[in-house]
Chains A and B, each alone.
Chain A
Amino acid sequence: MTSSMLLGITTIAYLVASGLYIALLVFRVKKLGTLATGLTAVTFLVQTAAIILRWMESYRMGYGHPPLSNMYESLVFFSWATVIFYFGLELKFKNRILGAFAIPFAFVSMALASMFHPDAIQPLVPALQSNWLFAHVMTCFVGYAAFAVASGLGVMYLVKLKFQGKEGLLASLPELRVIDDIIHKTIVFGFLWLSAGIITGAIWANSAWGTYWSWDPKETWSLITWFVYAAALHARFTRGWGGKRIAWLAIIGFVAVVFTYYGVNFLLSGLHSYGSG
């Protein structure tokens, strides 16, 4: 069993789990929810095993580094972090329907990883041989995972709002007030991690190149993302923004995240182009 095979299984299993959560949303059969959560939990364990295995494989190949060094590995980690974050929410709010708006992110990022990025374990160029790099990637991606879920919840909010009053399908969604609260808490959580991610990145850059900030496009985009969420937070706690506007900001913020993480590598050039591998 190699890590690649396990990750292949993971991708398919998250697709099925996404389907089950969406079916739960549509048909509201309790059993589907149990099944979806069960499958996601098992898949998560398989994925965890795959990540550990990949780490061990890199040692066997003589490279020896945590599996967080390129686009493929970071997409896998993003998917993993999204699921663990989602489980936290499911436990806290005792609501499985949230899964329909979160687990698809885990699937999509696994699918992107396996379709568009080579899964070979690569040696690290010297600049990447730093513990700060791994702290940086980890903190960023925990934040990104939270923002992904927040945007999913933002969509959930807008959908529910649109069909408000009509019984049926969407009656099983949590109340608007509750969704709004979860979105806010999720953004707050993500913001703390994104801040930590930007900071660890700056420390790493300073230890490798002697500049903690050089306005390279990826750095700049992470700052733009940070500003968007800072604006969302301030609008909420000082001007009382909530509901629709925060839902939209959660979505816009995540678009900025996707661009920072994915778009910048393909559309702009800079220090971080390592990620394009």
Chain B
Amino acid sequence: MGIQPELRLQMYETMLRIRRFEEETAALFAAGDLPGFVHLSIGQEAVPTGICAALDPADTITATHRGHGHILAKGADMGRMMAELMGKRTGYCAGKGGSMHISSLDLGVLGANGILGAGQPIAVGAALSARLLGEERISVTFFGEGASAQGGVHEAMNLAAVWKLPVVFVAEINGWAELSPYSDHVSVPSLVDRAAGYGIDAASVDGTDVEAVLDGAREAVERCRSGEGPVLLEARTQRWHGHFEGDRQLYRPEGEVAALPELYDPLVLQSDRLLELGIASEAELDAIERRVAEEVAEAVLFGRNSPESAPEDALLHVYSTDGRGGAA
């Protein structure tokens, strides 16, 4: 199946939205305007964008601590995301989740997770519920090479394989497990090599090329929907920023980080393609750039102007009732 011109352009815009949102997030954090821990996915935009472009709205995802891109690509509103990062009442989690825990059940986001390897069993459960309820939806779960060493990932792959559940395990390989290189944590050249151990299909795609990701995702999704069981899709990408904002990445070889934009920019790759194929003109891309800049500015404004959480919110939503148990 080819990729429609509109979708090619739309994916470019989605990646740009993720990039500009996260650049603004980095700036706000550096200025001391954002509390807490922030993990950015700049350089990795093609992965969530290409994956989510292959999904239906009803399909669910579990995201990671580096999850802004996953959630934006699944259709999140930038203003409510920025409000959540600021801990405001209007955020996706009413300010109680923050950057690492943004969720929206309406969008099929079963939580960004601060615990590595925790999202995968949850995704298996979402797929199980789809099967039992007779729904077509599939379940996608993002993780990286760091989480790939967690028991939960292995257990979830085995269980999904044994039960032939529609789960796409997306291994977003950005070269780093927190502060350590891939090879310090993973003993095989590619996570695809592990798939045989679970008896599942696997493929590896260039995670800098959004169209390669989309192609791989479409194949994986198709397989899942037709009931053939889980798939592992590895996307090799690059992390431009540190593990967390404030991480100076002194562990990386000198010059490596500076060279990344020149070598691996998913946005440049896609914009060059759009221009070359005549799908968009420079002027049209500029218009997208302006639109996204405006969206980001509005999101920041929305966040800043949103009310702070009130003290009485602190004990709200610990339980679904007063704690004494409510019937369904």
The answer to whether A binds B is no
Chain A residues within 8 Å of B, Cβ to Cβ: none
